[in-house]
Chains A and B, each alone.
Chain A
Amino acid sequence: MKKNDILVILIGLIMAAAAWFMFNKTRTEPKNSMVVIYKDGNLYRTLSLFEDEIVRIEDEDGRINIISIKDGKADMIEANCQDKICVNTRAAHKDGQSIVCLPNRVVVEIKGAEEDIIDGVSE
């Protein structure tokens, strides 16, 4: 370990802090957030974060993901993927948070309603 190695580590930590700040600055807890679910890279469903629901996704290859929306939190409660990373991910409740199941190609994302309006205009 030499002096400049510390420099590499420091640059990395600064990058991490910058990235963390970027993603957390925008995370608020508004009352009208949406849960956006993507499957295979395509929009699957958009639901309100504040209406309790259980969403079950199953594709032709038998890949199953079950997402629960309850008390303003979205959580992956079941998946038949190998790594179970998505199931172990904490429930998402702030804008910008997401749960990803890479093997089954499912992404659950929390989006603020404002963001959707901006997206709609720019499209």
Chain B
Amino acid sequence: MEHQKTKQMVLLSMMMAIAIILHYIESLFPLPVAIPGIKLGLSNVVSLVALYLFGPGSAILIMVLRVLMTSFLYSGLSSAIFSLFGGILAVSAMILIWTLRNKGFSIVGASVAGGIFHNAGQLMAASIVLGTSAVFSFFPYLIVSGIVTGTATGLLSNMIVPRLKTIIT
């Protein structure tokens, strides 16, 4: 049991480090799209993998710590509010689909839902900061991009989870 706990802690810390680096790499290559907020969401892969390997608690932990760390390291606290808003919504949506995992919903569905809600959360935070609902005109594009990137990261997670499962058990 102790052995198992140590294993989980080490894996979670490593995933945490991967999430931070993925977030950094992603910020180096902004996608050439004229709509704010569209990105691949590679660091969401880590929350997703943590959710399917260790459960909701670990997924939330990874997301919150990742947001705080990347905000302190690279972008500043005001962006932490944005990311937290999007991140919490995304993880909640993922957990919802995760609880339905025996009812025909796979990790891809969770990833897509996470992608959509991540973008919706960012947009809500933006409308609060800017004091206007004008930003919601981007909403349809952000949903579609959330679906596309969510599918991509979902398929990726689908490959990672079974491989990591052999390590933890």
A interface with B by C-beta (< 8 Å)? 1-5, 7-9, 12-13, 15-17, 19-20, 23, 38, 41-42, 83, 85-86, 88-90, 96-98, 100, 102, 105, 107, 109
Contacts and interface: CB of A to CB of B under 8 A. Distances in A.
Given A9-B112, A12-B147, A98 B137 contact: yes
Given A102-B126, A105-B129, A9 B135 contact: no
Interface stretch (B1-9, B29-37, B55-63): B29-37
Interface of B: 30, 32, 34-36, 97, 100, 103-106, 108-109, 112-113, 116, 126, 129-132, 134-141, 143-144, 146-147, 151, 154-155, 158
Contact of A19 (B113, B140, B154): B140
A23 to B, nearest CB: 5
A98 B100 CA distance: 39
B109 A41 contact: no
Contacts of A102: 36, 126, 129-130
Contacts of A4: 100, 103-106, 109
Given A16-B144, A102-B126, A8 B134 contact: no
Contacts of A100: 36, 126, 130, 134-135, 138
Instruction: In the A-B complex, list the 6 residue pairs whose CB atoms are closest, starting with the nearest.
Output: A41-B131, A5-B109, A20-B140, A4-B104, A16-B143, A98-B134
A105 B132 CA distance: 11
Contacts of B129: 41, 102, 105
Contacts of B158: 1
Contacts of A107: 130, 132, 134-135
24 contacts: A1-B106, A1-B155, A2-B108, A4-B103, A4-B105, A5-B106, A8-B97, A8-B105, A8-B112, A9-B112, A9-B151, A12-B116, A12-B143, A16-B143, A19-B139, A38-B132, A88-B32, A98-B134, A100-B134, A102-B129, A105-B130, A107-B132, A107-B134, A109-B132
Output the residue of B105, B109, B138 with the most chain A CB within 10 A.
B109
A41 to B, nearest CB: 3
Contacts of B137: 23, 96-98
A50 B116 CA distance: 37
Nearest to B151: A9
Contact of B131 (A5, A7, A38): A38
A63 B30 CA distance: 21
